[in-house]
Structure formats: structure tokens, C-alpha cells
Structure 1
Amino acid sequence: MRPARLTVLTAAAVVAALTAVTGCAEKSDVGSNGTINVAATDTACEVSKKEFPAGKATIEVENKGSKVTEVYVLFPDGRIVAERENIGPGTKASITAEIKAGDYEIACKPGMKGDGIKQQVKATGTGTVEKRSPELDAAVAAYRQYVEAQAEETLPKAQAFADAVKAGDVEAAKKAYAPSRIGWERTEPVAESFGDIDPKVDVREDGLEAGQEWTGWHKLEKALWVDNTIGDAEKKLADTLIADLTDWKKKVGTAEINPASIANGAKELLDEVATGKVTGEEERYSHTDLVDFKANVEGAQKAYELLKPTAAKNDPELAKTLDTQFAALNTLLDKYRADKAGYDFTSYDKVGEPERKELSDAVNALAEPLSKLAAAVAK
């Protein structure tokens, strides 16, 4: 979910292929090694060129401002090509991404609010990336199948949740709520790439933009756990949720997917855990955060496993570290669920601060090496 984030992950790396956002003079330069340097402040985003070569790109970003920022590369229709959230003040970040030839819009969002500072940019050249290995082509195809399957599986679970809401059955709706979100949470970066859908279905109340109507799961969550009642407005909202999720299911097959976006998406899922689930902000009324937590980890691990043949070949030590840290985090999560194969997790309000710190440390231990996965598959 992309509401306002209050926690910053260090080593959050930015986005893809760039050039510039800002009304300021261009000050950054493309390095001799082809790296694009980006300097972000509270009022500008200084990037090397308004035109840059299509293909694989390494972006080095430094946040010189006082606010947490995020950076997007957008298609003309608003779909997200690449993004990075939670770039903390005074931190540097790096990401490897793929950009095809064409026109784009770059948006920097100091404070992670609003439309950001935007500029039209262009990727030039043949629009192709050097031929991938068969194993990476297979990884892309398999990941596309995975995200489509998650959307397919989500709809009936969401419908069960909506049906319980429309029947006025509070307890049945509470029981169906967390399961209805698992497929979304496993593939959230792809879902978020369609910028208009995430704010409709997964925004929290404090993440609303000016004039935005609050819809989606979390408004229903509040009605169920805080108001403990269902009225006509909630029943209508349940139908709206299904309509928006159906739209997501129709669009997910058109998502821009490549090895870099798969790897970067895995890291974004860990960022989601660190900034929403570990803190208890995501499911603040239902306290079902650990269900989302597990789904995020599962999605990240699926992405890694598909890319692992290439990553292990190019950087065997990284693959060993990722294997170890995924196993450690999963073992830790197992402490909080009744059935090792299910999703009956401890209510997060019952998890103490020392235990939350332990979970946070395990997430950070995985997030740091996971941030290197895109570079490993791009070698």
C-alpha cells in the first residue's frame, strides 16, 4: 500500500533510468561508467539528462533534502515503470532497471505526498536490452504467470469477504478479511504499477490525498473492528472493492515485467513489511499485520527463487546469503502462527516491542542483500 510512510529504510534505492525532474538547472552528470547520478532535495530532483539511452541503467541517488522522498518513472498513461519509496534524508541508494525507448514522465515526491515534481523525458536508442539468457526469459514468463494467478485467486476470496459485508455478518466479514488480501500482498509492486488502483483499494485513512474519497479494504476494516457494524454505505463499498479488484485482474497481464523489475519488486515487498507491517500501521484496526507480513515475504521469495539460477551463477555468495536470511525470517514468522501451512497468525497487538524489534531486525537483515539482486541478475 502506498499511503504516507512514517518509517525510513536505509539503503532504499531508486528507480529506473533517468533523467530529470525539476525546475532547476541540470547539475548531475552521467558518469564515465554509464551510471546516472540523481540528487534529490525538498524542492527539486536534479538528474543528468532530459534524454538518456534506453536499456539497462544504474541509478545512483542521493537525498540531500530534509524529507523522505520517492521517485517514479511513469508511462504517459500514468502506469509505473519503476519506483523507489522511502529514500531517507542524507541517504544514498542505487538500483538497476530496464527502460525501453520512448517518452516518459519522471516524478519526485518529497514528503511522499501529492503528484510530485514532474518533467517529460525520453529514452532513446533501439529500445532493446541485450538478449537475455533462456533462464531469465523463463523467469519473466513464470513471474507473469504467478502474478496473474494471484489475481485470479484473490477475486473469489475478496468476493467471500464482500458477500459477508453485504449480508451484514460482522463476524464472517472479519474472518474473511485477511485471507482476501493475501494475493494482493504477494504481488503488491505489480498491483501498484497501475497507479490508479492501489489508492482505491489499499490506502489507509492517513494516506489520502486532498479531495480523495476513502474506499477499499481499510475503510471496511475500520467499520468492522472499530464501529463493529455494517451499514448501507459499507455494503456499497464492498461492491466498489470488487469492481476495483476486477479491474486490477484485467490489467495485471499487461504489467511491464523484466528481470530488474522482478528483483526490485522483491525489495519493495520487504520495504512494505518494514514500513507498514512491523510497525503495526497497516492493519491498525484488525491487527492482522502478520498475515500481510507473511504474504509480502512469500511474494519476495517467489521473485528471488525465479531469479536464483542467474543470481547464483553471477554472485554465489549473495545467493547463499539470501537463502540463509529468507530461511531465518520464515522460521521467526512460524513462531507466530498456529499451523505452519496456514495463515492463522497471532494478533499483532499481542506481539510485544522486543518481539517486534526481533522481526524488524530479521527484515532488515534480508532487505540489505535483497537490494543487490537486480544488479546480480543484470551482470
Structure 2
Amino acid sequence: MIRIGIIGCGGIANGKHLPSLATVENAEIVAFCDIIEERASKAREDYGSDAANVYTDYRELLNDENIEVVHVCTPNISHAEISIAAMEAGKHVMCEKPMAKTSIEAKAMIETMKKTGRKLTIGYQNRFRKDSQHLHMLCREGELGEIYNAKAHAIRRRAVPTWGVFLDEEAQGGGPLIDIGTHALDLTLWMMDNYKPKYVVGSAYHKLSQTENAANAWGPWNSNEFNVEDSAFGFVTMENGATIYLEASWALNSLEIGEAKTTLHGTKGGADMRDGLRINGEEHGLLFNKNVELETGGVDFYDGAGVNPADIEASQWIDCILNDTEPVVKPEEALVVTQILEAIYKSSQTGAPVYLNKVEEAETVLQTI
């Protein structure tokens, strides 16, 4: 039985981590921490035993030597701080996406992982969807050939989260780009198996954020509190010449919407997630389009035994601890996602491309001084 502590008992903990861990036979949630004690107590009531502890300071939770794993479900600004402290306290860490607010923090997390020998993974549960798993298998088997161009989609027409700290740049590091764009980019890089970006050009916009009484999925936002971008777009050139276009928005005048989706263009074929999973290519001198049937139902009132991707994520994470194997989401991969997102923001601010290899060289020089 793996004993787990949850740090941050807000929306993402209750919406994903807690219910998913509850489905894992070898997982027991023994500690709940939140700066608002009532939230931690409510989480214990719903997912813990009477013997589970409640904390308002994560440091006290980390002092409990019985806890083997920590899930970090706090605002982005504290991901690195808490994850590093947890690994130094001997805990394995599942950190919610994005890995960190900055790439420097993300690198520090990896350094701590290597130093302590603890396991670290990031919450990119969209990798565990049926369409993602199938497409990833096709990519690994070479069905698409060399993937030299891709698009990462994270477009909402009007769905700005109005609760918590989503609109606070200081706490989150950004808006839709770092919130949902991170999922689309992670999927795309994973499919391409390419984690060597060369340079990035990007723009982040504040065009609709000041709209009063705006139409929105969760009701009008407060324009005075909306200090992150409402949309952002980036173009990434990889070291091998491959290119990626990333689009992310919470508010955009567009009828083409979709989150955590990717479009891939390869030398043997292409794929997209626009309308289910579609594969296209050429065969025997003719073009073909194939819609992949991901459900195995075929029976009235039954569409097949679907499994929640978050449940699969939780199960494989606990299994990798029990069996001492690597998690599906490797922190080195999540670091590249953070580097690219950070570069898009920087490019938008400076109006110039950001060369990631030059950044790496500069840091190496500084370390030797």
C-alpha cells in the first residue's frame, strides 16, 4: 500500500487527483493539506479515513515519514518549491501541470530528483486518452513517417476560468498558454518524439480581456482582475528543421475550437484530432482518409467500457513506484514544454525570436564563472 499526501485541496485535486487515486487498489490517501483548513477537512471527509491527517502547512505534512508520495495540486508559483521540498524529504512527487512557472525552477526540480533518487512526474493526463494512446502507437511504429510539421490546438471560444488564481499572472505565470496550451504542446512533442527546440517566435494578446459583461462559460469575468493573456500563439522550429504551431485561447472569436488536440504532418501520412482521430495518406496511387473507431460498443445503450484517462494516469504512477519503473511522463520532457511556453511569452514581450540553444550556452558559461 502506497501512502499519499495531497498538497492543495482545490479544484484540480477534487476534480482529478483524489477521485482517480480512490480507484487505485494500492493507494491510500493519508494526509490532506490546504491553506484553507476547511478544504483539507472536506477532502479528508470525502477521500480519507478518520485516521488521515489535515494540515495547513505543507512542511508539516512532509515531516510525516509514513508518507511515501506527494501530489502537488497548488497554483503554478509554488509547484517547484513544494516539489523540491517533498523530494528532499524523501517523497516521490506527482506535480500537476505545468511543471513549473519558469524553466529555471523546472531544472531545479530535475536536479533535485537526480540528487535524491526520488521519482518525479507531471500531470499530463491527456496522454492516456484512447485517441492519444493509439496515435502514439502509430507514430512509434512509423506509420506517419518523419513528422516534420505539427499543430498544437488549445482553443476555447469563451471559456475563461473565473475562480481561484487563474487570472493572476504572478501566481500562474500566464493564462491559456500555460494553462491549456501546455497540454496540447505536450501531446504534440510526445507524438513527434522530438524534444530539441531551436528557436521560438510568439505573441500573447490582451484583446478581449477587458470586455465588460462578456459571454463566458462560467459567467462574466472581472476585467480588473484579468491580467493574463486571453490568447497566445507560437511558432517553434526544432533543431532538425521540424516546425510546430501552437495556438491557445480562453477567449477568441473563432468557430474552430478544441483543447488538448494535435495535428501531425509526416512523410508517409498525417493525423488529426479535429473530429475524432483521423488518419490520412496515400496508398496504391490513391489518397485515403481513415476515421479510427475508438469505442467497441455496437450494442444498444452501451458504448464500451471506457476508462477515465486520469484514472489510468494515477494507476500507472502508483505502479511505477511499486515496480521501480519510469513514469510515462518524464520530467525532462515536461521541462521542454515549459521552456517553449516561456520562450513564447518572452518573444511576445521583446518582439524577437528566442533561441533556446543560446540560453543553454549562456547558463553553462555562468555556471563555470
Tell me the TM-score normalized by structure 2. 0.28
Answer 1 or 2: which has greater helix percent.
1
More strand, by proportion: 2
Could you state the TM-score of these two structures normalised by the residue count of structure 1? 0.27
Higher relative contact order (CA 8 A, sep 6+): 2
